[in-house]
Every structure is written in C-alpha cells, then in structure tokens.
Structure 1
C-alpha cells in the first residue's frame, strides 16, 4: 500500500485581503476552488508518478462556481470545509465588512446571486439579470421559492377540454377550455401535463382560437390523454407574471426581469437570493474509463443550486425523469470515490448521478434534499459499454424530491451490478422511493446482486402521479435481495399505488423481512415475472381507502399477482397479512386466472370479522385451500407484541401462530417512528413552506 504525503491548499473567497501572492497556503490562500484545482493539475504533470494526496480546505461560505471539473490529474484529492481554527485565523486579519456570510460549512454553488432588487410596492420586487441567464428556479435565504403557477394552489389542477384526435398531433397539444389562456404570456409560460407515471413539460408554440387548440414546440412521450383515469386531463401553467402569490417568482425572458413577491417579513437586499445556472455543479469524471479518476474524498461540504434546462423541441417526459442527462454531482469513469457527510440540495435535476465506468463508489451519511427530480441515480439506461458496479449508498437521508419533475425517483439504479442500498431514510418524494432495473421483460438486464436493506421509505407518491411503488423493480435480477425495509404511506393520485411492486419481468428476486403498511393499493404486487421468493414479511393495512376520485378503480386488496405465464411466478411463504378493512369482504390475495404460484405457512387476519377472499375467483379460504394452496396456513390473530394501533408490526409473541409456522421477528429500524397516520392524505402536498 503506498504511503501518501500530504499537501494542504486553502481557499477563501476574500483572499484579496492577503495580497496578490496567492499560492494556496494558509497565509496566502487561493480565492477560488478552480485555482486550487489548477494548482493540483500543474503538480500532477510535473511528476505524474507522485503519490501525493492534496486536501483542499474551503472557507465556510458560498463558493459560486462554473462547473467544477475533477479529472484524472486530480486523483488523490480531498475536498472539505476548513477547520474552525483556520476560519478564525482568517477572520481576525480581515475587516468585518469584507468577510462574506459565514455558514456552517462551505457551499459549492452552481448558481449566481441576484442583488439589484427594485421595490415595486406591495412586497413585490424586480431585478434585471444578465442576458445569458434564464431564471426558472429561485432560492431565497436557503428556501425554494415557488415558480408562479395557475392554479396557485399546488394541489389543484386545470383540466383541458379534450385530447386531439390525431395521435401524432396529440403529443403536441390539446383542446383547451375557452378563456383558459387569455391572460397568459405565451412566450414565457410553460405547460406541465400529467399523464400516469410521468409529467411532460411544454413550451407553447401557438393557440388556434377557432377550434380552441393549443400547440407546443416539444412533444410528450405518448399522446396527451392516453391515460384517462390517471391523467384526468390535468395540467398546470408555470411562470405566470400577471399574478404573484406570496413567496413566488416569475421571469420575463425578453426583458431578463425576475419578479418576486415576498410575505413582507424581510428585505430581498438583506438575504441571499440565488438562481442556478449550471446543470452540473461538481463533475468527477475522467475522459477514458480505462484511465479513471481515482481516490477522491468529498466530505463536510454542501453542493447546491444545480440548474435545469429543456430545449424548445426536446421531449421532457420519461419514466423516472430519465431524459435529464445531468445532476448536481455527476460521477463517471471513476473509482475509489468517497462522498461522506455532504449536503446536496436545491437542484433542478437529480442530486447525484453515478454513471458509466464507475466502481467502488461510496455515498454515505449525507443529505440529498430539495431536488428538482429524484435524489440518487446509478448506472445508465442503455446497454453498458463500461459497466457500473460496486456502488454503496449507505445511511443517507433522501427527501423532498420532485419539485420540478415529479417522476424523479428517490434512489434509482438503472443497469448496474453489486449495488448496496442500505440504511437510508427516504421520504416525501412525489413518485417511487427505490427503483431497481431498467429492462422491461426477460431480455438481459445487466442488473444483478443489488441489496436493498434496512431502508425506511415513507410518504411517497403524495397523491400526484400513478403506477408507483415504495420499492419498484424491473427485469431479471439474479442475486437481488430486498430485505429488512419499512415502507409506509404510498399513495398515488388515482390508481396503482403499491408497497413493493415487482414490475415487468422481475425475476430471481428475494423479498424478505420487510414491513409494509398504509398503501393505497396492495402491500405487494407482481405484474409478471419468474421465480421470485416472498418470505417472512408483514403486509398490513392495505387498500383501506375508497377510490380517491369518482370513477377510479377500487383498490386491489392485500396481495396481487397480475399476468399468468407458463412458469412459476413466485413462492409466498411465512408471511403475515394483517388486513384492517372494515366491511363484509376484502381481498387477501387476487390474481389473474392460471397464475402459477406457491402459497403456504402464511397467517392472514382481519380484526373486524371481515371475510377474506383468495385467488382469481375470490373464493373463501376453505375453497382456496382445496386448490392445494395455503394448506398449512391459518386465518388467526398473529399476536403482535407491539401495539398494532401504533403500527408496530415487527414482533410477534413466542406463542404466535405465525411463529409456529416459522415466521421470525423482524428487526425494528432505529429511524422508524410509530403511528398509523397517513401523511398528506389531504392537503400538505406542498413540500416547502413559509
């Protein structure tokens, strides 16, 4: 193992106070992070065989940057916030008025501050920005401002009158209700259409008043109106300047003017107001996967203000917002990377993307929050030329995502192998919590050996999109194990909201020791797949609520298998199904006819004497057993030791019938909180509050 020598470089954005002889030393710090990286690169090419490690210490304030690019020459570098004594050292020699705002840690920002505000009265202000800047996000004193929209209440929607009849043209518009766009500036407005599991973002091309048609410059993925139940003709309009609610903004691109409306409790000249301009804030990538950047440590810093941009003809509509090709922290062609105790926030896209040519990447003990799409993205959509493998996502909080693109997933692994997603706290995302795989059906998936363990996933969906799960999978995945997770409060807008959702072709996956409760539809759903094992789980309190909207399908019960195929879909054994539905009958298990699956040693229970139904014919338990299924299973109280009124479904008593059938108690996650409340069932759909 090589012995590293160490070099320290210091960055203080007010270093001009120390003269013009900056060399990165404590006494003569650099004024920018880019200068420090240039220093490292010069030394690398002087002695390419050097094993020297360099630590860059950043003063704890905002460091506004163009995309910071680490490449192979920056291998063996650590980036962190400087120590308290070093911070104090600089401040004692610097005039107070020259010291920038001190923060708890250094913030690497991909944005620019806006400072030249003019008071227009009634708590409304305006500012002019440079011609190169497009303002579509704004952060005021570290809080996300809402982009003005109609309707102003983010839980409400407009509804178009009808889809267009031509399927090609229907990707570019719809028939609107008379008067709906009368007061809208078409040049600046953006229309966001809700489909099923996606939204599409559109620029307006023109209106045709004679037949009330609006046409867009860019298409949706499928014809608008394809998903009648899920979409319900919903859309909203963003960036409207004729009405500004408190703590919102709009932007006139022609005049480069941004307008904000405050609540009157602060002066915009006295707080930092930042708009993102760089889609990628920090880039760790070598040009060649065969010569990767290596041995980088990033710790105790924040990476903020990643931008989003959509081309005027670009299709901005795909599952998991996968059309976005950037993230605030972007890692590719890299090995031996550690990102620890980092905050990644206030982004327009994903927080992190660990892409092609990566291995031995570790993201741990970090906060990924307030993202425009999802939180963490792993691998790539296409068949990989340079695989992604040996990735560890450990003990992070991934929260409050989908603020621009609701279909973003909190943690998604596309095509990758040997991925560990363990101990994460995942909550308040507008779509799925964890998604694994990117192959629909039984073709090679390039996905295997994914461990999803001990994650606490809750309050996902938030009644916005449809067809989602707390944990969602696709394709053949040998060696993938989903174990020890807690999933609660999964709710969609209308239909298809499952706890664990094994979708198209999911095969060879083990689902064990999970606790799933409070889901709008079944706790567990398999669309179709082969040879999955579902063992020693607790599935509770599923499908309790009536359909959210008039005309929506009824929920599907507790356990559901979809398509029948000529092979074994799954084995379902030693599970507890705690059905809390109050009514004459409820489905404990339903399937399409001729599904091949094996059920045994399970305990089913409903405390309200509701009759439970089974199988494709929804028969009684006795009739179900006559088909050779669940012969050793029971309908009986599982005797939970915990308080079921607090949804403590982890432990059964030693004399439990479930224990007699082989059920083993499940380890209670330290981050789990008791209570059966359903978060966000009505209202509270806006994540950022003032």
Structure 2
C-alpha cells in the first residue's frame, strides 16, 4: 500500500510538472484595433511580447512557461524590451505549424510571413513617395541620424562618394595648431559638385596608417582649399612624420549626390527629416519591405535566472543615432572611450542560465 501511494504521488508530480510546462502563452501582432479581451490563448493571443511578459509576472511559478511567437515581425518600436528578476523560468520560442494554423485569419491581415519570429528594433516604413524614380519619406523627428536601412531583409548601402574607390586630400594642416586635428587641404575642384552643409550629417571617413576616423563637416574655405570638421581626430590628420599615411585617402558617407548615382543606397536629410532611397530596378513600392532601425538596444536582460530564447531573430538595432554628438572624436582606436559601452542590440548583465539556441542576431 505504501509503495502504491508513492507511485501515485510520483505520477501526480510528473503530470503537474508537465502540465505547468506545457501551458503556453501566444503572441500574434495585430494591425487592427483589439477589443481588450486578449488572454494569451490561441483564440485571443497577446499582440506584443511585453503583454506576455507582464502577464507572466502576475503568476507564481516554479517551472518553465512557454511564450510562443507567430513567425512575423514583432516591432518593439521606441522602447527596449526589458527583463529583470521577475522574469525567470521563461522560454521564448516560435509557434509550431499546428499552432500557426489555429490562429484566426482575421489576426493575420497584412501580415509579413517569415520563417521565424523577428523581434525588431525598427519601424516598417510605408507611404513612400516616388519622385522621378527616387523614393522619399518623412521619418520621426526624434531621429537625429539614419545610419542603417534594411530593404527586403538585407542591409542596403549608405550613400557614398566615391561609390567604390577613394578620394585623396592634398595634405594636412599646420601641425603646430589644433586645426591639424580637424581638417585638411583638399585637391582643386574636389567638392565642386558635392553638397556640403554644417547642419547635415554628411561624414568624412579618413584613413590613417592603421585605423580610420569619422568626422562631421563644419566649414569649407575655397580660397585656400581647406575643409574643417566639427569633431577632431585623436591624432594629426596627414601627419608628415609618418612616411606613408594610407595614401591620404578618405571617402564621404550620407551624401545626396552619392544616393542619386547609386541604386540600392539611401540618404538622410537631417534638416527636413526626409529619408531618400534609390531603388533597384526590380523593387516596387507595392512589394518592397523597408525597415528603419530606430532602437539601439532591443533586448535587455538583467538579474534574470533561467531563461531560454529559441529560434527567434533579434534584428534591426540602430547605431549611433540617439546621442549624436558632432564634437567628440569617433576614432577606431578610442571610440569606446567616448561612446556608451551599453549600446548593444542585446544587453545581458548579472544573470544566470540564460540560453540562446538557433538565434539570429
């Protein structure tokens, strides 16, 4: 009798454990207004990962709970998806094919079907205007720069001049002055057909002996062919004490003329907040999916114990847009000394037993 009772108890424990693990919460984004009756079931799934997270925080649990995401884009938009000590024992994964088929068709309106869920730090840009073959759109005023753009799942080029090679400047400035760190003498007629403005985010990328530095345009003096940047380099530009200074090469990024010349490239006008894109010949406004990264840190996990992420993409993190500062050096040797080291797509700290399986980041 005692042995039989033990078997019964063991059977109940196993089944309770399996039952608690097998309970799944479902997340299916919706482009339509919802009635507020979402409860995380297949019939009434949550529309955001945040809703699922907040719901699980109300449940006392001693075993894993599964959060299944529909394989489409899950845009977190302007706020980092934050997990803390309240979010232990959770598995985030993709829905099975059977679960996908049980989602009501009305919830799939205007869906972009994917092979796996993608938690995106971007926004889906629609309502582009086609102006003589160049697309343009006004982006949120909160963006001080646009450094990345994804078209049909692939990163496209930021406009560049020259498109594939380099410019060379004539020489550096007098290295006895601070200006030697902030400019150079350019070659005759070099910028005659290029739009340069101190209020733009056009960048000069200068190649040194072993590294590069990025600079924002400030002033140009045609009378002595001098260009000055708003942010200095950490060393003299065109240092004559070095025999070969990488051929004194440089190129420009985020240039309007570069976008006009190159299909599949973009240009951002920070004054008008207009983003321009030069589409490729096989791209149309009706079918092209364009995503603009706006969030630098998409996922933050702090003081979490036991969490798994399976078969999910974390994509479209932005780079250097929230704290654009045109006065600091941006040099390959010391950028980390000036930029916030916590600006990463996935931030993980003071956590244990966090597993990422078959992820795309």
Q: TM-score range by the shorter chain?
A: 0.7 to 0.9
The verdict on how the C-alpha distance between 1:321 and 1:83 changes in structure 2, with shifts beyond 3 A counting, is: farther
Matched, 1:28 2:28: no
| 1:180 to 1:40, Cα distance in 2 relative to 1, 3 A | farther
Aligned to 1:13: 29
1:165 equivalent to 2:179? Answer no
Match of 2:253 among 203, 227, 238: 238
Deviations 1:289-322 (A, max 9, x none): xxx3221211101111110114212222133964
Secondary structure of 2:53's partner?
A: helix
Secondary structure, aligned partner of 2:98: helix
Q: How does 1:205-284 map to 2 (within 5 A)?
A: 205-226=218-239, 229=244, 231-243=246-258, 244=260, 245-284=262-301
Following superposition, the deviation at residue 19 of structure 1 comes to 4.1
- Higher helix proportion, which one? 2
SS in 1 for 2:330: coil
Deviation at 1:125, TM superposition (A): 1.4
RMSD: 2.4
In the TM superposition, what whole-angstrom CA distance separates every residue of 1:116-155 from its partner, at most 9, and x where no partner exists? 111112x3211111211332211110122111111012xx
Contact (CA 8 Å) 1:105, 1:300: kept in 2 or not?
A: yes
Q: CA deviation at 1:99?
A: 4.4
Is it true that 1:301 corresponds to 2:316 in the alignment?
A: no
In structure 2, do the counterparts of structure 1 residues 16 and 296 end up closer, same or farther at CA, with 3 Å as the change threshold? same
Show the counterpart of 2:213.
Answer: 200
The gaps in structure 1 that reach 5 residues or longer are: 286-291, 345-690
Q: CA deviation at 1:239?
A: 1.0
Matched, 1:69 2:82: yes
Q: Any unmatched runs of 5+ in structure 2? A: 1-16
**Displacement of 1:280 after TM fit?**
0.9
Q: What is aligned with 2:63?
A: 52
Kindly indicate whether residue 348 of structure 2 is the aligned counterpart of residue 334 of structure 1. Answer: no
Contact 1:300/1:341 (CA < 8 Å) preserved in 2? yes
| Deviations, residues 643-689 of structure 1 (Å, cap 9, x unaligned) | xxxxxxxxxxxxxxxxxxxxxxxxxxxxxxxxxxxxxxxxxxxxxxx
**Residue 8 and residue 267 in structure 1: after superposition, are their counterparts in 2 closer, same or farther (change >3 A)?**
same
- TM-score, length-normalised on structure 2? 0.83
Indicate the structure whose relative CO is greater, using CA pairs within 8 Å and at least 6 residues apart: 2
Cα shift readout 1:620-642 (whole Å, capped 9, x = no counterpart): xxxxxxxxxxxxxxxxxxxxxxx
Aligned to 1:105: 116
Pair 1:37–1:15, CA change in 2 (3 A): farther
The 5-angstrom pairing of residues 188-587 of structure 1 reads: 188=200, 189-226=202-239, 229=244, 231-243=246-258, 244=260, 245-285=262-302, 292-309=303-320, 310-319=324-333, 322=336, 325=341, 326-344=343-361
Q: How many residues align?
A: 327
Rounded to whole Å, the distance in 2 between the matches of 1:28 and 1:278 is 29
Counterpart Cα distance in 1 of 2:285 and 2:58: 42
Say yes or no: does 1:137 pair with 2:154. Answer: no
- Cα displacement (A) at 1:228: 5.0
CA deviation digits over 1:5-52, x for unaligned, max 9? 434211100285874211222222111111112223333xxx4xx423
The residue that corresponds to 2:7 in the other structure is none
Contact between 1:225 and 1:231, CA under 8 Å: does it hold in 2?
A: no
Q: 1:39 to 1:268 in 2, by over 3 A?
A: same
In 2, Cα distance between equivalents of 1:99 and 1:263: 24
1:127 pairs with 2:134: no
Match of 2:11 in 1: none
Cα deviation 1:70-109 (Å, max 9, x = unaligned): 122112222111111111111xx22487141110000111
Question: Aligned-pair distance for 1:327?
Answer: 1.6
For residue 199 of structure 1, report the CA deviation from its aligned partner: 1.7
How big is the shift at 1:230? 5.2
Once residues 70 and 146 of structure 1 are traced to their aligned partners in structure 2, the CA distance between those partners, rounded to angstroms, is 33
Partner of 1:179: 189
Q: Distance in 2 between matches of 1:268 and 1:15?
A: 20
Alignment partners' CA distance in 1, 2:168 and 2:336: 26
Q: Give the C-alpha shift of residue 68 in structure 1.
A: 1.0
Residues in 1 aligned to 2:25 and 2:107: alpha-carbon distance in whole angstroms = 24
